[in-house]
Homo-oligomer: A and B are copies of this chain.
Amino acid sequence: MNRLSKLSIIVFSGTEDKLIPLGVISQGAAALGYEVRVFVTGWALLRFLKKPAQPTWPKEFEAMVPELAKGMQMNNVPSWLDMLKEAKNMGAKIYACSMMSQVMGLKKEDFDPSLIDDVVGVATFLQEAEGGQVIFI
């Protein structure tokens, strides 16, 4: 394992299903020793608030959500929130996008401080992400 490995994740999609791979990948990468950075923007911001919006599922797969939820419970799969917090315990940092926060009327104090480390601009994120892998969810 190259100790300089970095994985940066831009999370834009706010549907609940896509937050699962955010949790899984963040936690998995942090456990492998990656420097993990998450940049939350767009609709996803609404799920990182002190008073988060209700979960939204993609229209195309809505009918399958109860079965998915049951499968996660039966297999004792932690929620994406718990996986993300575990990633943070291992050093991951989570930033909210300053531009989209402003557009959506959200201030730093509106975000859940157990999740969001700071509100930063895209330039700061890109600089931290430089030279590593970047994925857009």
Which residues of A line the B interface, CB within 8 A? 1-2, 5, 7, 10, 12, 14-15, 17-18, 20-21, 24-25, 28-29, 31-32, 34, 41-43, 56-61, 64, 67-68, 71-72, 75, 77, 97, 99-100, 102-105, 121-123, 126-127, 129-137
Contacts and interface: CB of A to CB of B under 8 A. Distances in A.
Contact of A17 (B1, B17, B42): B42
Given A2-B131, A21-B10, A103-B77, A126 B15 contact: no
Contacts of A60: 14-15, 43, 56-59
Contacts of A132: 133
Q: Closest 5 interchain pairs by CB?
A: A28-B122, A71-B103, A135-B136, A133-B134, A59-B59
